[in-house]
Amino acid sequence: MKKSSFIIAAAIVFITVAGRVSTAIGQVAGERQTLPVAVVTADPSNDLYKTLTANFDGVRLCKTLDEAVALRDDVKGVMILADNYPDQRTRVSSEQAEALLASDVRIYVEYPENNDALGIAGYDGVEAMSNRRGVVVDADKLQTPLYSLLYVNGALFAAKPFDAEKVGAKDNSAWLVCAKVAGYDVAEYALSGAAPFVLLEENGRVLTAATKFSQWISARYAPYERYQTFWASVLTWLDGGAPVPKPNYEPAVSPARSRDAVLTEEDYVDAVRRNADWFFNSGFLLSDADEEAYRTRRESREYSLRPDETCDGRNGVIETFSSGTRFKPDGSQKIRFLKRADCNAETAGALALAYRATGDGRYRDAAYNLVDWLLRESSLSGGPRADVGSPQYGFLDWDDGPTTPEQYYGDDAARAILGLIEAISVLGEDGEQFQQRLLELVLANFRTTGKNGFRGNNIHAKDLDARGWKYYYDREITNFAPHFEAMLWACYLWAYEHTRWEPLLRRTKTGIALMMDAYEKGQWRWTNGLQQERAKMILPLAWLVRLEPTEQHEEWLRRIVGDVMTFQQENGGIQERLGEGRGLFGSFKSNAAYGGAEGPIIQNNGDPCVDNLYTQPFALLGLNEAARATSDETNRKEYETYLRKLTDFVVKTQQVSDVYPEFNGVWFRAFDYDKWETYGSDGDLEWGVWTTETGWTLAWLGGGVSMRVGNACVWDLSASMDLTDDFEIVKEIMLKEIVDDENE
C-alpha cells in the first residue's frame, strides 16, 4: 500500500465559471496523493466524503461500521460520521471498538455516545450551539492561532464541559472547544468568564468530534480557509505520516465574482435580475398559502416558505432570514416571519427600479401590488392611521406583529417614504393614486418633528395619543444621531422641492446645521458604528446641495463623503468603523455580553469587514445622489469614482448558490473582504452576520445596481411628480394647527 508521503501532491487548478472562482484538484504528474481512510456513512453525498474523493485517492466508502472494521488492516484511519444527527448520537458497539483498537487504525468519530472501550467519556446530554462559536485551544494540533474562531452554525453537540485552565497545559486533550466569546477572528477575552464545552478532543488513537463537522459545507460553517486547515489537521492525524494538504471545496453559497473580476454591463444586469428574482423564488413575497399560514403563525420561526405563482406582492413581503441564535442544526436559518412597513415599501421601490433596468413586467406588477397592499389593505396603514381625527393619522405602523407595540421610528418611516417615491415614480400614471397617501406619511412625521428639526429616535402610539402631535411639533429637542434623523431630512427636502412649503426647508436646514456643528465637536451618538451615521448623512446633504448649492453646503457634503470614503478599500468595499466610546450598540466588552443585544459586525477598528445592513446600502444611495447633485466638477468626479468602485464591489459580493435558492441573489449583512466571504462577529441579537433584510439591505443594494444600469437617481426619477393638488388637500387635513412663519 502506497503511503501518502511517497506520492506527488496534487496541484490546485483554478477554474472560472461565469466569473466565479472555484477550486478543483488537478494532476501535475503521476498520481494524486493517496489518503488511506475509510469513511463510514450511508450517505455518499455527505460533504466530507465528496470532498475527500474529489481531492484524494484511496478513500474507501463503507456504508456500515462493520465494513470498515473488515478493512481495518488496509487503511490508516476510519472516520465514523454522524448519519443520524441530530436526532441520535453515534453508537459504536464494544465489539466494533475492540476490533478497531486491535489494529493500528486511528479513529475519528462524530456526535458519539459515551464509549468506555474508545475512551469517550463525559459527553452527557446535548446542547445547542446558540451564540457559541468554536475556539481553538491547541494551536499546534489545529495549525491555527490560539483562540481563533470557527462558526458551527446552529449545531447541536454532545456536551462535555471543558476546564479553561487546561489551555496550554500538557494534559489538555482538546483541540477545539465552543463557548460564548466576544471577538472577530479570535476570542477577544480568551475564555474569561465563559463556560466552554469540548468540540474536538484526542484520546490515544481516537479523535472525538462532539458534533457533525462533516456537514460543514451544506451547513455553511465558516470561514473557508480555517475549515480547510481544520480538515487538513484531522486528516494528517488520521494518516499519521507527512502533512496532508488542505482539501479544496466549493462553498454552498459564495460571492458571485472573484475580487479581481473585470465586470461587464451584463454582470450588472445579471445582479439586478438575480436579486429581483430572489424575492419571488425565496417566497418572501408571500404566496396565498403562506399568507394563510401567516395569519395564524406570524410569530413562528420554524415556518418554511412555499413559493408559487401567487408570490407577486399581493400579500406583502416578510422581513428577513435571522442570524445568530436563529440557525437550525442543519445550518439553515429561521425566518423572521413578520411584515414591516419599511421593508414592504423599500422592496416595492427596488422591484420598480429592477423593472426600469430590465423591462421585466413581473417586477413592475409586484411593485404595484406591494404599494397597493401596504397603503390600502394592510393593518400597517389602517386603524388610527386612517382616522383624520387621530394624531396617528398618516403614519405607517412599524410592523404588524401582534406583540409589538404600535410605534413610529423616523428612520424606518424615511426609508418607507424613499421606497414609495421610487415605486410611484416608476409606476407613472398607475402610481398617481398613491401620491396623497405618500404626502400624508411625510407630513405625519414632519408634524411630530420639533422646532430644531429633530424628531427623536421613536414615538410610541400611546404617547402620541396622550399628548397629541402638536406637543412634538413644538418641542425644542436635539438628537445628534444621524441614524435616526438624517434620512427623514432628505424626505422633507424632497417634499419641499415638490410643494415649496417653507417650514419643510427651514426646520430641516436648522437640524442639519446643528448636526454638522455637533459632528465637528465630536458629539454624534452612534448606533452600531460611526460609519453608518456618516453614510446616512450623505443623502440629505446631497439634496440640500440640490436646493441650495452654497459653498457651505458643498463643504458639508464633501466633508462627510470624504470621511466615509477614507475607509473605502482598493476593492471598493467600505470598511466598517466604530466611534469613540461605546455607542448605543458598541462592540461587546465581555464574553458574557456577546449575543445579548444588537451590535456591530466588527470587534475593533481595523477588522476587514463591511456592513451591508447599516452602512453600504445608504452610502451607495447617497453617493449616487451626491454625484448628480453637485455642480462642482472636482467633487462630482470624486463622488463618481467612489460610486463606481462601491457598485463594482456590491456586484461582485452578491451571494449566489446552485444549492440553496433561498440565498441565490442576496447580500448578507457582513462580508470580510480579506477572506472574500460572508464573515464577521455574529453577536447581534438577531440581525447578525447572515441576516438578509429585504428592506435595509437587499432593496437598497439591488436598487443601487439598478440605478447604475438605468442611469438614474431618485431626485431625477421623481422630478415630474406633480403633488400640487394633493398637497393642498393634505395640508388642509393635517396642518391646520401649524402657525405661519411670522407667528412661530
What are the pLDDT digits (tens) for 539-592? 999 999 999 999 999 999 999 999 999 999 999 999 999 998 778 999 999 999
C-alpha pair distances (Å), 9 with each of 23, 198, 741: 15, 33, 81
Q: With 90 as the cut, is the pLDDT of residue 5 above it? A: no
Q: How many CA atoms lie within 13 A of 188 on its CB side?
A: 19
Q: Which residues pair with 12 in a beta bridge?
A: 25
- Nearest Cα to 197, choosing from 152, 158, 144? 158
Domains of the chain, earliest start first: 4-252 (3.40.50), 265-734 (1.50.10.10)
How distant, in Å, are the alpha carbons of 396, 672, 685 from that of 376? 11, 41, 33
Asked whether 432 and 450 are in contact (CB, 8 A), the reply is no
What are 246's three cell numbers? 488542505
3-state helix, strand, coil in the chain (%, to 5): 40, 15, 45
What φ, ψ does residue 527 adopt, rounded to 5°? -100, -80
Place of cell 461582485: 652
CA distance 452 to 439: 21
Report in angstroms the alpha-carbon separations of 484 from 81, 277, 526, 614.
Answer: 50, 31, 10, 12
Name the CA radius of gyration of the chain, rounded: 28
Buried b (16+ CB within 10 A) or exposed e, 406-426: bbbbbbbbbbbbbbbbbbbbb
Contact indicator for 560, 530 with CB cutoff of 8 Å: no
For range 522-537, the mean pLDDT: 97
pLDDT single digits (tens) 153-166: 999 999 999 999 99
The predicted model gives 436-464 an average pLDDT of 98
Q: What is the pLDDT of residue 472?
A: 98
pLDDT computed for residue 739 by the predictor: 52
| pLDDT for position 25 | 34
pLDDT at 31: 67
pLDDT band of 331, cuts 50, 70, 90: confident
Position 299 scores a pLDDT of 57
C-alpha cell at 222: 465558516
Q: How many CA atoms lie within 13 A of 448 on its CB side?
A: 30
For 306-324, what is each residue's pLDDT tens digit? 999 999 999 999 999 999 8
207 three-class SS = strand
Residue 300 has a pLDDT of 59
Residue 132, pLDDT > 60, answer: yes
- Express each pLDDT in 215-264 by its tens digit: 999 999 999 999 999 999 999 999 998 899 999 999 999 999 999 999 99
How many other β-carbons are positioned within 10 Å of the β-carbon of residue 744?
11
Q: How far apart are CA 621 and CA 714, in angstroms?
A: 9
Q: Name residue 471's beta-bridge partners.
A: none
* Region 269-298 average pLDDT: 94
596 pLDDT exceeds 70?
Answer: yes
The set of residues, in sequence order, having a beta carbon less than 8 Å from that of 634 and lying 6+ positions away, is none
The pLDDT, as a whole number, for residue 509 is 98
Closest CA to 271 of 701, 712, 721: 701
Could you tell me the maximum CA-CA distance found in the chain, to the nearest angstrom?
A: 97
* 44 within 8 A of 54, measured Cβ to Cβ: no
> Is the CB of residue 256 less than 8 Å from the CB of residue 654?
yes
Residue 671 CA, chain-centre distance (Å), reads 8
Q: Find all residues with CB under 8 Å of 69, minimum gap 6, and list them.
A: 96, 99, 100
Comparing C-alpha atoms, which of 577, 661, 582 is closest to residue 611? 577
Express each pLDDT in 77-119 by its tens digit: 999 999 999 999 999 999 999 999 999 999 999 999 999 999 9
- Listed in sequence order, the DSSP H helices in 191-323 are 224-239, 265-281, 288-297
pLDDT band for 350, please (50, 70, 90 cuts).
very high
| Helix and strand element counts for the chain (H, E) | 22, 21
C-alpha cell at 456: 427623536
254 vs 236: CA distance, rounded Å: 27
Closest alpha carbon to 708 in 590, 572, 609, 599: 572
Query: Residue 174 pLDDT more than 80?
Result: yes
Can you tell me the distance from the alpha carbon of 602 to that of 684, in angstroms, rounded to the nearest whole number? 10
Reply yes or no on whether the pLDDT at 647 is more than 90: yes
What DSSP line would sit under 55-119, residue for residue? H-B--EEESSHHHHHHTTTT-SEEEE--TTTTTS-B---HHHHHHHHTSS-EEEEESBPPBTTTT
Which amino acid makes up residue 209?
Answer: A
DSSP secondary structure letter of residue 399: B
